[in-house]
């Protein structure tokens, strides 16, 4: 028997609550102190990890503290600083153009709307929503790879298109929950619900998950797959 809409909403919100108990301190793992730093870090995180990005941004942010400094950066120096994040030439090009666009269009400030953010070089909906939610506190659904994967496993969406996933997932929760939902789901994807071998037997929301069994269900085997939060 197909799951009713009411049952889906109840199950989705139960998952959110249980993930909150599992990850009470879930937050954005890109180190930043302002909107520009978060925007730059998110651009760098493409095809990389937050941990790796966090190793280069302290020096990067000190060297280029504002959009004007970023726009005027020496390309070779910028490439050298961000090399560990991968695709450093393309990312350097994006950051130089991003800095220039911020200076030319917004007086060096990061705009606070989705419509404005997605017009910036190197900024798509996912990056824009990361900045909106974590720098400006504007509710949104961040469709990163973990949230997309887990939304499919949880049965929250059947779509592969980020805008539709945003709509499908967002409709299951009040907007006031969207920011915490992003963080909890992403943390769960990084720590337990992995792409290749989810730790099903060590997952506290397994009883609520239609995809239970995609990974090892034996508790001892699954426990070895859990990656605890970084220090």
Active site residues: 126, 144
Give the tokens for residue 93: 């090009």
Q: Read off φ and ψ for residue 90, nearest 5 degrees.
A: -65, -40
Helix (H, G, I), strand (E, B) or coil at 112: coil
Nearest partner of 195 among 141, 143, 145, judged by Cα:
145
Report the alpha-carbon distance of residue 128 to residue 134 in Å, rounded. Answer: 10
Return the CA Rg of the chain: 19
Please, which residues have CB within 8 angstroms of residue 102's CB and are 6 or more apart in sequence?
36, 67, 70, 71, 108, 109, 110, 120
E strands in the chain: none
């Amino acid at each position: 028997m197909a799951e009713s809409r009411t049952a889906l909403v109840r199950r989705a919100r139960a998952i959110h609550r249980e993930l909150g108990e599992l990850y009470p301190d879930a937050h954005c793992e890109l180190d930043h102190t302002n909107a520009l730093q978060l925007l730059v870090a998110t651009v760098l995180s493409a095809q990389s990890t937050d941990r790796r990005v966090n190793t280069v941004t302290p020096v990067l942010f000190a060297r280029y503290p504002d959009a004007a400094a970023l726009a005027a950066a020496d390309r070779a120096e910028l490439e050298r600083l961000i090399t560990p994040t991968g695709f450093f030439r393309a990312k350097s090009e994006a950051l130089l153009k991003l800095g220039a666009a911020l200076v030319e269009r917004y007086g060096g400030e990061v705009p606070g709307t989705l419509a404005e953010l997605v017009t910036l070089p190197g900024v798509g909906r996912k990056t824009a929503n990361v900045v909106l939610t974590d720098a400006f506190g504007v509710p949104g659904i961040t469709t990163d790879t973990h949230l997309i994967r887990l939304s499919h496993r949880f049965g929250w969406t059947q779509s592969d298109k980020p805008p539709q996933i945003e709509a499908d997932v967002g409709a299951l929760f009040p907007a006031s929950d969207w920011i915490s939902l992003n963080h909890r789901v992403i943390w769960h994807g990084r720590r337990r619900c992995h792409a290749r071998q989810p730790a099903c037997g060590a997952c506290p929301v397994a009883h609520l998950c239609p995809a239970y069994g995609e990974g090892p269900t034996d508790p001892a085997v699954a426990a070895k797959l859990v990656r605890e939060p970084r220090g």
